Amino acid sequence: MADSTPVRVRFAPSPTGKLHVGGARTAIYNWAFARANHGTFILRIDDTDPTRSTEENTQVILRAMRWLGLDWDEGPGVGGDYGPYKQTDRMQLYRDAAQRLWDEGKAYPCFCTPEKLAADKKAAEERHDPFQGYQRTCRNIPPEEAKARIAAGEPYTLRIKVPLDRGDVIVHDAVHGDVTFNAKELDDFIIFRSDGTPTYNFATVVDDAMMGITHVIRGDDHLSNTPRQVMVYEALGAPVPTFAHISMILGPDGKKLSKRHGATSVEEYRDAGYLSDAFVNYLALLGWSLDGETTIVPRDVLAREFSLDHVSKNPSTFDPKKLDAINQAYLMAMDDRTFSTQVLIPQLVSAGLETDGALAHDDAWYDLLSSILKPRTTVAPDVIGKARFLYEGDSVTFDEKSVKKNLEREGAHDALVAAREALAAIPADSWKAATIDAALEPLPEKVGSNKRKFYGSVRVAECGNQVSPPLGESLELLGRDCVLARLDRALPMAN
Ligand code: GLU
């Protein structure tokens, strides 16, 4: 393929289920490859398996693609010059292509029954025939005879006629290098079934050829289909695209990633609160790397720098901890305002702590809260549990264990009395984390307590448990009145 040919790539999911992690990575690579080469990214729905494809799954996949931010240049909802972009809408094109091959003597009808095929296969096995495929029984039926049998209503499939002298097929794969498939593995395979539907190997190639696809980037579970697909390109007289088969994604136990390992669909990760940017970044690194070490590769860098020669042919392992770390890094990189509007407030609203359109506080309040929650957030919903104590008015929910350890201890009462006195002395207009921290600072020594114990008591009185965010900011956010009220409420519980 000449380098000057504009790049056209496609992602062609079958809507037989949700978009999974592996499919999403394939989509990302195609998208990034198109963007990096100023090419065209096409989304095509491969729904030729009518028993397993559903419109609902198609919609789920489109939603997932949108959430991932993988905008397609041609495809459903966008259109394009090479449509339709759904295989069930392209049936006539497959019939026409098959008819042309038939007319040109490159395909032929086969009348073998399943029983006959099974018997032939068994016989080939028994005589250890190096050629185990279809025995070409119907390859030389005279056209007139074939026509008569079809007219008489005999069921038939359509097979491609692989030239007998074709020899080995060498697939030049951008990831795996040259992969040779022995000619003996190539038989005259079926391109149209007896029920009039095209097979995957045929429909895909008709589409890829008609859509001018220059690079086929897909999972390496399709590598074994590739020699057959090459036969179809050759029969159609179409240029063979560059193939790039990307390796499998494994679970931590070294087995192919599956439900057993936990969440596998894109939607599950969206719903768990991962950021689209972080998720795309993480998936991109499963088999590709920028320079072998950089782990934060923002979308625009990916779209500029992605190249197939940095794709590994070794399987990669899905590591949820690394995904978490990348998500955290993206959260940390947000400024407080962005974190407030994109992470914190939507979560508070969805938890029912805030009402959309009628927020309880001003921007500065959320931004201060964001500044203390950001370093403590792995995924967005983490903020709910950590912010809940701010939404309980004067009566915070106490964690029993924390109360036992921090309030029902010798000296806790003295600590709270001292804290109340110092905090009540701060004027309302100076109610800031720094002032609060400064007021509390000398108190442990004053009441003869160690710091950890002192702050533990105040923290539990105010926040209900001992694992809340930094105290000064927490108290600033609670507000002076609420802080004093909570102390009053906790005092009788303290020893
Ligand atoms: N519909 C096929 C799949 O989902 C696409 C394979 C291909 O990219 O050729 O596996």
DSSP symbols for 298-342 = -HHHHHHH--GGGB-SS-EE--HHHHHHHHHHHHHTS-HHHHIII
Distance from C-alpha of 30 to C-alpha of 148, rounded to nearest angstrom: 47
101 lies in the same domain as 163: yes
- Structure token digits, residue 288: 């590709």
Backbone angles phi, psi at 254, to 5 degrees: 85, 0
Q: Are residues 358 and 414 in the same domain?
A: no
Ligand 1 contact, 229 CB (< 6 A): no
Which atom of ligand 1 is nearest to 26's Cα? 8
How far, in Å, from the CA of 14 to the mean position of ligand 1?
A: 7
Cα 163 to Cα 138, 139, 188, 281: the distances in Å are: 15, 11, 9, 45
- Domain assignment of residue 391, yes or no: no
* Number of domains composing the chain: 4
Spatial separation of the C-alpha atoms in residues 473 and 365, rounded to whole Å: 10
CATH number of the domain that 456 lies in?
1.10.10.350
Nearest partner of 212 among 233, 191, 227, 198, judged by Cα: 233
Environment class of 133 (CB within 10 Å of its CB; exposed 0-12, middle 13-18, buried 19+): middle
The C-alpha atoms of residue 482 and residue 471 are separated, in whole angstroms, by: 14
Nearest by Cα to 272 from 199, 211, 345, 347: 347
CATH code, domain carrying 271: 3.40.50.620
> Counting beta carbons within 10 angstroms of the beta carbon of residue 372, is it exposed (0 to 12), middle (13 to 18) or buried (19 or more)?
buried
- In Å, what is the CA distance from 433 to each residue of 4, 137, 334, 392, 473? 61, 86, 22, 20, 5
Same domain, 143 and 128: yes
Measured from the CA of 204, which atom of ligand 1 is nearest?
9
List the beta strands (DSSP E) in 141-230.
157-160, 169-173, 177-181, 190-192, 215-219
Whether 154 and 134 map to the same domain: the answer is yes
End of a domain among 192, 207, 232?
192
Same domain, 463 and 484: yes
Kindly state if the Cβ of 208 falls inside 6 Å of ligand 1.
Answer: no
Cα separation, 74 vs 52, in Å, equals: 24
Size of the chain in residues: 495
Q: Which two tokens stand for residue 303?
A: 């779209």
The ligand 1 atom nearest the CA atom of 225: 9
Distance CA 295, CA 297 (A): 6
215 lines ligand 1 (CB under 6 A): no
Q: Judge whether 116 lies within some domain.
A: yes
- Tell me which residue has tokens 């495929």: 133
- Ligand 1 center–CA 105 separation, angstroms: 28
What is the pairing mode between strands 157-160 and 190-192?
A: antiparallel
Q: Which CATH number belongs to the domain containing residue 100 in this structure?
A: 3.90.800.10
pLDDT of the chain, 495 residues: tens digit per residue: 446 789 999 999 999 999 999 999 999 999 999 999 999 999 999 998 878 999 999 999 999 999 999 999 999 999 999 999 999 999 999 999 999 999 999 999 999 999 999 999 999 999 999 888 999 999 999 999 999 999 999 999 999 999 999 999 999 999 999 999 998 889 999 999 999 999 999 999 999 999 999 999 999 999 999 999 999 999 999 999 999 999 999 999 999 998 888 889 999 999 999 999 999 999 999 999 999 999 999 999 999 999 999 999 999 999 999 999 999 999 999 999 999 999 999 999 999 999 999 999 999 999 999 999 999 999 999 999 999 999 999 989 999 999 999 999 999 999 999 999 999 999 999 999 999 999 999 999 999 999 999 999 999 999 999 888 999 999 999 999 999 999 999 999 998
**For the CA of 16, the nearest atom of ligand 1:** 4
Q: Does one domain contain both 100 and 188? A: yes
- 204 CB less than 6 Å from ligand 1? yes
Chain centroid to CA 52: how far? 21
Decide if 306 contacts 36 (C-beta within 8 A).
yes
Q: How far does residue 216's CA lie from ligand 1's centre (Å)?
A: 10
Asked whether residue 99 falls in the same domain as residue 187, the answer is yes
Please say whether the dihedral angle defined by the alpha carbons of residues 292, 296, 302 and 305, taken in this order, is positive or negative.
Answer: negative
Distance CA 177, CA 157 (A): 34
Task: Compute the distance from residue 233 Cα to the ligand 1 centre, in Å.
Answer: 17
* Among 11, 70, 56, 64, CA closest to 302: 70
Vertex 79, ends 77 and 84: CA angle to 5°? 105
CB-ligand 1 contact for 218 (6 Å cutoff): yes
Q: Are 54 and 15 in contact (CB under 8 A)?
A: yes
- Choose one of 43, 204, 215, 248 to mutate for the ligand 1 pocket test, by most ligand atoms within 8 angstroms of C-beta: 204
Q: Is the CB of 432 under 6 A from ligand 1?
A: no
Peptide bond preceding 163 in cis form (omega within 30 of 0): no
Indicate whether 84 belongs to any domain: no
- For residue 44, the CA-to-ligand 1 centroid distance in Å is 10
Of the three residues 176, 192, 208, the one that is the final residue of a domain is: 192
Give the range of the structural domain holding residue 347, as residue numbers without chain letter: 334-382
pTM of this structure: 0.93
Taking the C-alpha atoms of residue 320 and residue 462, their distance in angstroms, rounded to an integer, is: 34
Is 232 near ligand 1, meaning CB less than 6 Å away? no
Clarify whether residues 323 and 345 are in a common domain.
no
Of ligand 1's listed atoms, the one at least distance from the Cα of 208 is: 9
Is residue 345 one of the residues assigned to a domain?
Answer: yes
Same structural domain for residues 461 and 422? Answer: yes
Extract the tokens encoding 474.
Answer: 């927490």
Q: Is 213 in the pocket of ligand 1 (CB under 6 A)?
A: no
Give per-residue pLDDT as tens, 124-162.
999 999 888 999 999 999 999 999 999 999 999 999 999
Nearest CA to ligand 1 atom 5: 12
Same domain assignment for residues 326 and 338 = no
Domain boundary among 192, 211, 229: 192
Ligand 1 mean position, distance from CA 215 (Å): 13
Q: Is 481 a domain residue?
A: yes
Co-location of 411 and 471 in the same domain: yes
Catalytic residues: 259
Q: What pLDDT, on a 0 to 100 scale, did the predictor assign at position 184?
A: 85
pLDDT at 2: 47
Residue 311 Cα, ligand 1 centroid: separation in angstroms?
19
Nearest to 159 by CA among 130, 138, 129, 182: 138
User: What's the pLDDT at 4?
Assistant: 75
Which of 35, 24, 13, 30 minimizes the C-alpha distance to 68?
24
Any ligand 1 atom below 6 A from CB of 456: no
Q: Establish if 37 belongs to a structural domain.
A: yes
Question: Which atom of ligand 1 is least distant from the CA of 23?
Answer: 4
452 in the same domain as 406: yes
Å from CA of 132 to ligand 1 middle: 26
Ligand 1 atom at minimum distance from 46 CA:
1
Q: Considering the domain boundaries, does residue 225 fall inside one? A: no
Q: Probe ligand 1: pick from 10, 43, 46, 225, max atoms within 8 Å of CB? A: 46
Determine, yes or no, domain membership for 447: yes
Cα–Cα distance measured from residue 488 to residue 394, given in angstroms and rounded to the nearest whole number: 9
Cα gap 68→111, rounded to integer Å: 47
25 vs 326: CA distance, rounded Å: 16
